[in-house]
Homo-oligomer: A and B are copies of this chain.
Amino acid sequence: MKAWIITIGNEILIGRIVNTNSAWLAKKLTTMGIEVRRMITIPDEEDEIIHTFREAVRHADLIISTGGLGPTFDDKTSEALAKALNRKWVINPDAYEEVKRKFEEANMELTEARLKMAKMPEGSVSLSNSAGTAPGILIETNRKLIVALPGVPREMKAIFEENLEKILAEKAPHKYYAEKSIGVVGIPESAFAPYIDELMKKYPKIYIKSHPRGHETKGPVLEIHITTYADTERDAIKLVEDAANEIIEKIDELGGEVTYQ
């Protein structure tokens, strides 16, 4: 199951805000056995949103967007998604009840800008938002799952954990993810590189990546990160541990020091 994560918002593209939403979602999906293949950030422009959703639907099984669901003129995700899928953009009865109730409780009028948060592509499932106003959108089409969540991290996380996670868990492959990090000082990345290559041939299901954290020639510090997917949690952990043990032996052999594991 391949996923794309789409971030909609100029504030990311001008560098005002670091995209923590994508990282949070990626971690969630990865541990569920869903492979995130691409993250894209685009501006609050209808054409860009339509184009990107269409491209995503061609390549991914699961598409999750964040941002652009609020009441302002530049919240364009919902309407653009309807256009991308050639669906009508209509009042969703569940979303309408939720939005209406929230504004009634606050003694606020249901203006046109507010009503917009209840409009969704025809056939959407409304995902209730316990942390804010705009509900999320869930669409299933041709075995693809398309989800639009708000950009406010607290609201995005609330909808994901309360309403989306269980739906995804049912559809996700029953794969278990395991990972392990090993800290090393004293071995330059370029000295360890050929060995990683060799080890990945020996363990084809394992992915090993080294991250330089120091200075290659003047004080090498590495983080070696091992990841795998397997059919059972036990298998995943065992695979990672086996590879980790070989790596630790090699670190010893090369005269490096393991600082954590």
Contacts and interface: CB of A to CB of B under 8 A. Distances in A.
Interface string A209-223: 111100111100000
A20 interface: yes
A11 interface: yes
A133 B216 contact: yes
- One complex includes copies of this chain to the number of 2
A204 interface: no
B217 A106 contact: yes
A12 B26 contact: yes
B217 A103 contact: yes
A145 interface: no
A232 interface: no
A72 B196 contact: yes
A37 B23 contact: no
A15 B10 contact: no
B209 A10 contact: yes
